[in-house]
């Protein structure tokens, strides 16, 4: 290789990769060897899942997930491989992020990688949490959920996951695969429910009228004004209408009352110290996740996912054992009744 030229991995596009359902149909994944699934088969979700054994640094997708350490500055395994392939720009941006807590996720650009973004998440060290009496699966699940959320908030439709927390972090391969598959299945189901709710709002409006408060004069619906009365000189006098749920402005000369308007302390209105302590508002979701790629590297990871995936993503076209027996039964052939000797004699 000529000096001064950096190595650029040949991209692996995800377009055209076989989805999970197509793997079932072709026989490349045998659902019959896995434990029976109690979940309803979902063809739409199965077609959103891709399982491959490949080098993640070559994947051409919107985001790849890095199983990082808390410093985010590179390490061994997939973490080191991603940093080496992305180049020094990734290190410099990660330095500005000032680390990441276990279960959380942060996003950077992809730099020299074919992927547009890298989402860094810190998985739990399995034995550390076990020794403290904590459940590591809670933090591992958070890694997947926060990574998927972050992808959607940054316009990423395709995301690739490695095996998080396995290897030197000690999470058993099969148990880690269980958490990954269960979490992704639940997330994609919830995403579809959100889409259905959004369609319903488009058709029927934002919010149906509903009863929100019961008053002396009867129920008050959202947006309606409740007519109240005041007693003056023994007679009822109509008062100003009040919107249900709306608080009246308190007036008076209480010295301990918080000043309002121009008398309010400068800085509280414009932000000041209180605003600095407020967490940054989360971005809204920009899109749906369209493809989730489980990018496996070790053979033992492949074996774990082959055993676990059919339980959480059962084939939508899988034939049950009773159906198979019916298929194997010979078809009944209608035969004409044989003539008896008496019938032949009559002829």
Q: What is the pLDDT of residues 127-168, one digit of tens each?
A: 999 999 999 999 999 999 999 999 999 999 999 999 999 999
Q: Is residue 5 part of a domain?
A: no
Burial state string for 67-86 with b = 16 or more CB within 10 A and e = fewer than 16: bbbeebebbebbbebbbebb
pLDDT of residue 319: 45
SS3 for 289?
Answer: coil
Angle at which helices 136-153 and 173-204 pack, to 10 degrees?
A: 40
pLDDT at residue 325 greater than cutoff 60: no
* Predicted local confidence at residue 274, as pLDDT: 41
Between CA 102 and CA 137 the distance in angstroms is 12
Chain segment 234-267, per-residue pLDDT in tens: 555 555 544 444 444 434 444 444 444 444 444 4
Instruction: Kindly report the CATH number assigned to the domain that includes residue 55.
Output: 3.40.220.10
The verdict on residue 238 lying in a domain is no
Number of structural domains, the chain? 1
Residue 235 located in a structural domain = no
Mean pLDDT score of the chain, rounded to an integer? 79
The reply to whether 181 falls in a domain is yes
Question: Mean of the pLDDT values across residues 105-111?
Answer: 99
Quickly state the pLDDT bin for 331 (edges 50, 70, 90). Answer: low
CB atoms within 10 A of CB 26: 9
Q: Is residue 73 part of a domain?
A: yes
At 282, the pLDDT band (50, 70, 90 cuts) reads confident
Percent above pLDDT 90 for the chain: 58
Residue 194 included in any domain:
yes
pLDDT at 36: 74
Q: The tokens 């299945």 sit on which residue?
A: 185
Spatial contact of 104 and 121, defined as CB atoms under 8 Å apart: yes
What's the pLDDT score for residue 342? 62
* Assigned domain for 32 exists: yes
- Tell me the residue length of the chain: 347
Residues 6+ apart with CB under 8 A from 152: 285, 286, 287, 288, 289
What are the E-state strand segments in the chain?
A: 12-13, 49-53, 59-60, 63-68, 105-109, 117-122, 158-161, 211-215, 218-221, 225-226, 229-232, 235-238, 242-243, 291-296
pLDDT band at 34 (very low <50, low <70, confident <90, very high): low
**For position 302, what pLDDT does the model report?**
95
For residue 148, being part of any structural domain is answered with yes
Rounded to 5 degrees, what are φ and ψ at 152? -65, -35
pLDDT in tens, 187-235: 999 999 987 776 666 666 655 444 444 444 555 444 444 444 454 555 5
**Contacts of 77 by beta carbon, 8 Å cutoff, 6+ apart:** 67, 167, 168
Rounded distance, CA 120 to CA 117, Å?
10
Structure-block tokens of residue 91: 């290190």
92 — pLDDT class (breaks 50, 70, 90): very high
Model confidence at 29, pLDDT cuts 50, 70, 90, reads confident
- pLDDT value of position 202: 61
pLDDT of residue 264: 42
Range of 74's domain? 12-200+287-318
For the segment 36-87, what is each residue's pLDDT rounded down to a tens digit? 778 999 999 999 999 999 999 999 999 999 999 999 999 999 999 999 999 9
Angle (CA) 188 189 195, round 5°:
90
The pLDDT, as a whole number, for residue 63 is: 99
Helix (H, G, I), strand (E, B) or coil at 285: coil
């Amino acid at each position: 290789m000529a000096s001064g030229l950096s190595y650029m991995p040949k991209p692996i596009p995800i377009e055209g990769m076989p989805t999970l359902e197509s793997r079932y149909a072709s026989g490349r994944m045998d659902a019959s060897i896995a434990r029976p699934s109690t979940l309803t088969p979902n063809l739409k979700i199965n077609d959103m899942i891709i399982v491959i054994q490949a080098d993640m640094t070559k994947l051409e997708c919107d985001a790849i997930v890095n199983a990082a350490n808390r410093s985010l500055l590179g390490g061994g395994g997939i973490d080191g491989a991603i940093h080496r392939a992305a180049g020094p720009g990734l290190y410099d941006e990660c330095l500005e992020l000032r680390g990441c807590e276990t279960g959380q996720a942060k996003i950077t650009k992809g730099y020299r990688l074919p992927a547009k973004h890298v989402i860094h998440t810190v998985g739990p060290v399995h034995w550390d949490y076990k020794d403290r009496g904590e459940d590591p699966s809670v933090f591992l699940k958070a890694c997947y959920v926060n990574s998927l959320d972050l992808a959607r908030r940054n316009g990423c439709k395709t995301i690739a996951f490695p095996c998080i927390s396995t290897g030197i972090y000690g999470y058993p391969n099969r148990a880690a695969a269980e958490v990954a598959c269960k979490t992704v299945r639940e997330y994609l189901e919830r995403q579809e429910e959100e889409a259905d709710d959004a369609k319903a709002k488009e058709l029927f409006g934002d919010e149906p009228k509903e009863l929100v408060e019961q008053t002396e004069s009867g129920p008050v619906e959202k947006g309606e004004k409740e007519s109240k009365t005041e007693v003056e000189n023994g007679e009822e006098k109509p008062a100003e209408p009040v919107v249900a749920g709306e608080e009246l402005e308190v007036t008076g000369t209480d010295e301990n009352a918080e000043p309002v308007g121009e008398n309010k302390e400068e800085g509280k209105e414009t932000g000041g110290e209180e605003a600095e302590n407020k967490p940054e508002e989360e971005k809204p979701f920009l899109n749906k996740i369209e493809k989730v790629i489980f990018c496996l590297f070790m053979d033992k990871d492949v074996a774990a996912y082959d055993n676990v995936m059919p339980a959480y993503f059962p084939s939508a076209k899988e034939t049950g054992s009773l159906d198979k027996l019916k298929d194997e039964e010979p078809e009944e052939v209608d035969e004409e009744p044989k003539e008896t000797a008496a019938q032949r004699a009559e002829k």
